[in-house]
Amino acid sequence: MPDELVHYSVADAVATLVLDSPHNRNALSRRLVSELSAGLDRAEADPDVRVVVIRQEGPVFCSGADLSEAAGGGMEEGARGLIALLRRIAALDKPVVARVAGAVRAGGIGIVGACDIAVAADDATFALTEVRLGLAPAVISLVLLPRMRSRSAAMTFLSGSVFNGLEAADDGLVTWTSPEADLDAEIDDICGSLAKGHPQGLRETKKLLNKALIAHIDAGADETAALSARLFGSEGAREAMLAFLDRKKSG
């Protein structure tokens, strides 16, 4: 469909979900989150699919929360929707692979962290920018803190500074990197290897791998959703978000 924000296709036992919301740089609007969740459900229900790939159309993998929605308030529902999406990726019966190129910001990094395998271009750029808007990476910490080295998490969470794909691999955020020109070949090789797995073997092995992560998500869901909503609704964050949106309009 031309107006859909997440495109779904299947080939060679691989379901590919493509984020394609150029008007907001693939931001995590409620609609994009809903369509991505529906795509995951569709892939899980298809017996011919053994692997799922999440990738983007355009130069930005995901720009994080949709600040135009956030500035309007009522973010607890959005926070819970994102938690449910991250949990869905982790709990899916089939391995989920992130193909990451270009820019990844804030909440978009949570999608990368939730995936079982993440391969990024060497020069992909990441930044946890929440702190600069009076926020905290509350919801996505549920999947990032179990993945990242604690010192790296402290530096990236607190500074909001940009780091590249090579640094993301060193931090534990992504599995490995490659030159962007080779990224599709790397993803094809990984998916080909994963697709050789028996569905039961893939399902049960993934359960073993993600048992602790899913328990961590479940234990922290209410607290982080409430924290996220409180911060997004605060006067300081609303002012910072509106100023950011004004700069984007004028610049």
Into which CATH architecture does domain 6-182 fall? Alpha-Beta Complex (3.90)
Stated pTM of the model: 0.95
Rounded to whole angstroms, the Cα distance separating 50 from 203 reads 9
> Which stretches of the chain drop beneath a pLDDT of 50?
none
Share of the chain above pLDDT 90, in %: 88
| Each residue's pLDDT tens digit, 95-134 | 999 999 999 999 999 999 999 999 999 999 999 999 999 9
3-state secondary structure 129-186: HHHHHCCCCCCCHHHHCCCCCHHHHHHHHHHCCCEEHHHHHHHCCCCEEECHHHHHHH
What is residue 155's predicted lDDT score, i.e. its pLDDT? 98
How are the residues of the chain apportioned to helix, strand and coil, as percentages rounded to the nearest 5? 55, 20, 25
For residue 28, the 8-state DSSP code is B
Parse the chain into domains and list their residue ranges. Answer: 6-182
Please give the C-alpha separations between residue 103 and each of 95, 109, 131, 146, 196, in angstroms, as whole numbers. Answer: 23, 10, 18, 22, 31
